[in-house]
Structure 1
């Protein structure tokens, strides 16, 4: 089986390629650096030619109100190229609770991406993951001021990128779900506590101040970014990943 992995050189994509290759499949990474542009369409038809499965892990370069246009254009181009090539399975990676956070432009954009895929001509699978453990440093940087980091109490259930990549590869190699698989790490933390744990473990001298109006996750209400009962729980605990 041949896989075309768009965004195949990134954090998740490179590991998906490794996992599929280790399982004996032909997995080809595609990205801007390999001459494939999902927005202009350059190199797309050649990238998906002969592929049984397309795994789209490309991401908008911004999280603002420009992100819906990125996902609309990229999905339209990829679905057209995939349908022309006779691709039998199209996989994307999305976010747990993505349709429950209407105040965030990026989450609305990812929900749009899901809707375009569902309405498209190719059997599909959507893997929704919780927040990546690897992104905690970025989250801390968004609201850092000097020696203080302001974080809301938003419940998160972080998952390791390696676990995400393993499951995405597994789903891609299986039959199309024509639906959604939710995946999450094993532990739920309020974001402010997660920040304190991270800084303490890394011996970072900054302190966390609880501020429910701070940063992007202040727009999240309740525990919508955590797993529901039907979610698949990945094995890696955040404390183990940190150490």
Structure 2
């Protein structure tokens, strides 16, 4: 099966490799390969002949500009995919993304989903919980000196390799015309997850619980955790952390 993977970052590179290892005809595209999603340059060539397009791009910013980014890029991708006769459009999103309207980036990702759902191409959306790989960056964004301020927002970390596997599996299946959720096997309050991470890595910073700190403060209740009955990934956060 010929598959075009758009985006070669953390997830895109893994998805492309997993699909190629499974014997599929995979091409991976990004700005570095001459595909500019904002202008559409190179996009027609990138998806020509593909049966499936997997959108794993991301906005370079997490502010209001992300809304225009996804509006433009998804519109261009769907247009090119439609002209090429693509039969399945797959995108990666975030568990609970439509339940955090106070965060501009989440509104942008919700718009991305809506555009895909309203588009002419059969689609699948894979919603994942927060990547384990991003936990250190989350801590860094709310660090002041030796103190990390974090809310107690429930977080369900998942290894990026398992997200990539779910996306790859979805890409070679029939279009869901809906959403597939995937999350890690454990839920932690974010402040507790921060303390665990610092302790396991020998980091001397201290976590202070602050319900107003950082992006995740806007997520209320358990909105960033998977719905009941969702099949869960197998990698536990402590095991992943110790293997790094």
TM-score (norm 1): 0.99
**How much does 1:125 deviate?**
0.1
Deviation per residue, 1:80-136 (Å, 9 max, x gap): 000000000000000000000010000000000000000001000000000000000
- Contact 1:37 1:43 (C-alpha < 8 Å) held by counterparts: yes
- CA distance in 2 between counterparts of 1:231 and 1:38 reads 33
Does 2:17 match 1:4?
no
- Contact 1:13 1:165 (C-alpha < 8 Å) held by counterparts: yes
Q: Partner residue of 1:14?
A: 13
**How much does 1:230 deviate?**
3.6
- Contact 1:182 1:230 (C-alpha < 8 Å) held by counterparts: no
Q: Partner residue of 1:96?
A: 95
Q: Partner residue of 2:83?
A: 84
**How much does 1:38 deviate?**
0.6
**How much does 1:211 deviate?**
0.5
Q: Partner residue of 1:182?
A: 181
Q: Partner residue of 2:73?
A: 74
**How much does 1:53 deviate?**
0.2
- CA distance in 2 between counterparts of 1:229 and 1:2 reads 35
Residues 94-243 of structure 1 mapped to structure 2, 5 A cutoff: 94-243=93-242
Q: Partner residue of 2:57?
A: 58
- CA distance in 1 between counterparts of 2:118 and 2:214 reads 33
Deviation per residue, 1:42-78 (Å, 9 max, x gap): 1000000000000000000000001110001001000
- CA distance in 1 between counterparts of 2:112 and 2:41 reads 20
- CA distance in 2 between counterparts of 1:141 and 1:206 reads 10
- CA distance in 1 between counterparts of 2:3 and 2:120 reads 18
- CA distance in 2 between counterparts of 1:17 and 1:217 reads 30
**How much does 1:232 deviate?**
2.3
- CA distance in 2 between counterparts of 1:61 and 1:54 reads 21
TM-score (norm 2): 0.98
Paired residue total:
242
CA RMSD of aligned residues (A): 0.5
**How much does 1:27 deviate?**
1.0
- Contact 1:55 1:92 (C-alpha < 8 Å) held by counterparts: yes
Q: After TM superposition, which residue ranges in structure 1, 4 or more long, deviate above 6 angstroms?
A: none
- Contact 1:181 1:232 (C-alpha < 8 Å) held by counterparts: no
